[in-house]
Amino acid sequence: MILELVYFAAAVLFIVGLKQMGTPVHARRGIVWAGAGMAAATLATFFYTYDGPTKLLLLLTAMALGGGVAWWTGRRVAMTSMPQMVAVYNGMGGGAAACIAALELLGGAGHSTGVLVLAVLGALIGTVSFSGSMIAFAKLQGWFDRTLTFHNQQWINFGVLGTTLLLGLLLLFFPSFAPLLLLFFLLALIYGVMMTLPIGGADMPVVISLYNALTGLAVCLEGFVLDNAVMIIAGTVVGAAGTLLTRLMAKAMNRSLRSILFSAFGTADTGTAVAVEGDMKESSAIDVAALMAYSREIIIIPGYGLAVAQAQHKLWEYAGLLEQRGIRVRFAIHPVAGRMPGHMNVLLAEAGVPYDKIHDLEDVNNDFPNCDVALVIGANDVVNPAARTDEGSPIYGMPILSADQARNCIVIKRGRGKGFSGIENRLFYADNTRMLYGDGREAITALIQELKSL
């Protein structure tokens, strides 16, 4: 009875915590509440399922190792590596659910057919989430090319998935047959890898949220297998949140989930896209600082390059100096900016930017025509006008921030190369755009110095 009450309290804390995370103002409080719920559920399970000193020692060792590694990595991870860490933790959750399923299937003689079905489904989904998340991590880490495609790839993928499902069906009749179980998990791992390999860098925010949803679903299914209420509730909450977030990310790119998973968007091949004409026009720090110093309204658009340069604190310092001159400064965030959902929001919050100065695409897009300067730092696809004008572009139809409609546009960029998705940005060649080349932090520092001298 006490265990069930603790599980119920933990479930309430999960839901309240998730609700609090719906706004940046209460997000920290939400994390604390959800964490308290998880701690309570873990401790209750620990004390009420005691089964001898040997298992106790194994549990304590696992908790110490897992908690120690998580604490160490969480303290040391750089903001640029946050998407990779999220991908790894997503994958670990799916892998844990798959391991639970493997143990239950090996002892499957005592389970009903319905429970075995849930165990097999949880094993498949959790394993795919694990291997797919590891590939997403490797792509984000830059360990290999962002996309890998080959002839008849999708048909081969479907073949691997179909074979895995067939083996899963056989496991319902022979769950304890170890070679069959091993082959099932091996093919599931391979399918997760092959499903993720062709997905390009521009789709990584969607992929991360999708695997988050799959991990939640796998945990939920294994909760039914173990008859564990807290796993069912936590898995359902995570799965539902991940599913909604995946839909939001896909909508922000005006793409279906099917096209994201099967079209290999983000490769260097732009198909029938119209060639970009003109030249990029370079400017200097003193000219940009002067232009912005005598503006009335400025909208700043951050992207992953800001995270790479670790320039968020300098950017906020620069924005503060502009505001001291009576200039209205706002930040515009595209839903898929960065490498994971909410990446830029987290980055700006870390620098202390007030929440009321950070605006979503829908809230700020109509204001660009009245904006004196749109400052783009590290962003690429989310400000590319080709999404509106070039039907041959891979990003055609994707909603973008209308930086090109500002009276002046300043782009801080490390070099003349293409962005992470490999697509040429028409904004950089526009008549009202000037390029300020260099590392983001160094460029903003130069702007601060020039602004103070005016």
Q: How many CB atoms lie within 10 A of CB 39?
A: 12
Domain ranges of the chain: 77-262, 285-453
Separation between Cα atoms, residue 250 and residue 244, nearest integer Å: 10
Separation between Cα atoms, residue 169 and residue 191, nearest integer Å: 17
Q: Where are the beta strands (DSSP E) in 361-453?
A: 373-377, 408-413, 433-437
Is there a contact between 202 and 395 (Cβ–Cβ < 8 Å)? yes
- Identify which of 161, 95, 89 has the alpha carbon closest to the alpha carbon of residue 123: 95
pLDDT the model gives residue 323: 95
pLDDT the model gives residue 275: 63
Q: Does domain 285-453 have CATH number 3.40.50.1220?
A: yes
pLDDT the model gives residue 265: 47
3-state DSSP call for residue 374?
strand
pLDDT the model gives residue 145: 62
Q: Count CA within 13 A, CB hemisphere, residue 334.
A: 30
Burial of residue 89, with CB atoms counted within 10 A of its CB: 0-12 exposed, 13-18 middle, 19 or more buried:
middle
Separation between Cα atoms, residue 446 and residue 437, nearest integer Å: 12
List 381, 390, 404, 439, catalytic entry: 381
Q: Catalytic site residue 381? A: yes
pLDDT the model gives residue 345: 86
Q: Divide the 454 residues of the chain into consecutive groups of 10 and give the mean pLDDT of each group.
A: 84 87 79 90 78 78 88 81 86 93 80 87 95 90 71 85 94 87 95 86 79 94 89 90 86 74 51 65 93 95 88 94 95 86 85 90 93 92 87 82 94 74 82 91 94 89
